[in-house]
C-alpha cells in the first residue's frame, strides 16, 4: 500500500496511507523496521558493518509503503549488489572476509566466557568484557550473518563483472 496522493490522513502536503486492523500493524512494523535499517545502514557506511546492504533492506521495506522510497530503491540496490560483487572478486578479499568472520565468532566466544582481566587492564576488573554472553552472542550472530553474506555474494556474484540491471536476471556461477 503506497501513498499515491492526498488522503484523509495527509498532513503538511505529505500523504499517509490509510490502513486498518492487522494491516495497520503490519504497515507500522514495516515502516519502523525500514527506518531502523535505513538509519543503521547510514551509520554502517562509516562504521564497521554492511551499510549498503542494511540501507537497501530498509529502503526495500519502505518501498512497500511509500512511492518515494520505491523510486529511490534502484540506485541503492545497484550500489549494494555492486559492493557485494566487488567484495568477492579476489581470493585475498574472500580470505580477509573469512578471517574477519572467524575473528567475530572467536571474539564472541571469548567475550562470553569472560576470562580474568589481564594485568595491563587499567580500570577495575568489573569493566573487563562488559556484557558477558549477551555481548558475546551478538558478536557471534554478527559473524554468522557476515559469513552468510560473504557466502551469498560468493555463490551469486563471484564470476560477474557487473551487477545486472532490473531487466536482466542475475546469473549464478553455475550457468
For 26, half-sphere exposure in the C-beta direction (CA atoms, 13 angstrom radius) is: 8
- Specify whether the CB–CB gap between 158 and 141 falls below 8 A: no
- pTM, 2 dp: 0.60
pLDDT in tens, 91-103: 898 899 899 889 9
For residue 112, what pLDDT is reported? 93
Residue 173 has pLDDT above 60, yes or no: no
87 DSSP 8-state letter: T
Confidence at 172, pLDDT banded by 50, 70, 90: very low
Q: Which of these, 74, 33, 68, 69, lies nearest to 54 by C-alpha position?
A: 33
pLDDT in tens, 116-165: 999 999 999 889 998 889 989 988 988 888 888 888 888 888 776 655 55
Instruction: Say how far apart CA 60 and CA 34 lie, in whole Å.
Output: 8
In this prediction, residues 86-113 reach a mean pLDDT of 90
Confidence at 8, pLDDT banded by 50, 70, 90: very low
What 3-state class would DSSP assign to 14? strand
What 3-state class would DSSP assign to 11? strand
pLDDT in tens, 22-53: 888 888 999 999 999 999 888 877 776 677 78
- Specify whether the CB–CB gap between 115 and 130 falls below 8 A: no
Amino acid at each position: 500500500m503506497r501513498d499515491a496522493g492526498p488522503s484523509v490522513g495527509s498532513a503538511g502536503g505529505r500523504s499517509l496511507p490509510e490502513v486498518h486492523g492487522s494491516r495497520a500493524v503490519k504497515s507500522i512494523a514495516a515502516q519502523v523496521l525500514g527506518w531502523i535499517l535505513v538509519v543503521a545502514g547510514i551509520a554502517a557506511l562509516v562504521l564497521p558493518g554492511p551499510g549498503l546492504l542494511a540501507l537497501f533492506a530498509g529502503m526495500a521495506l519502505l518501498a512497500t509503503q511509500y512511492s518515494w522510497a520505491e523510486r529511490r530503491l534502484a540506485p541503492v540496490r545497484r550500489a549494494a549488489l555492486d559492493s557485494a560483487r566487488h567484495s568477492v572478486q579476489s581470493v585475498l578479499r574472500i580470505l580477509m572476509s573469512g578471517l574477519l568472520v572467524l575473528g567475530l565468532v572467536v571474539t564472541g566466544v571469548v567475550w562470553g566466557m569472560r576470562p580474568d582481566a589481564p594485568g595491563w587492564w587499567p580500570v577495575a576488573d568489573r569493566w573487563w568484557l562488559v556484557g558477558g554472553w549477551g555481548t558475546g552472542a551478538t558478536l557471534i550472530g554478527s559473524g554468522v550473518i557476515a559469513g552468510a553474506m560473504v557466502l551469498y555474494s560468493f555463490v551469486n556474484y563471484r564470476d560477474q563483472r557487473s551487477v545486472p540491471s532490473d531487466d536482466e536476471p542475475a546469473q549464478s556461477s553455475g550457468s
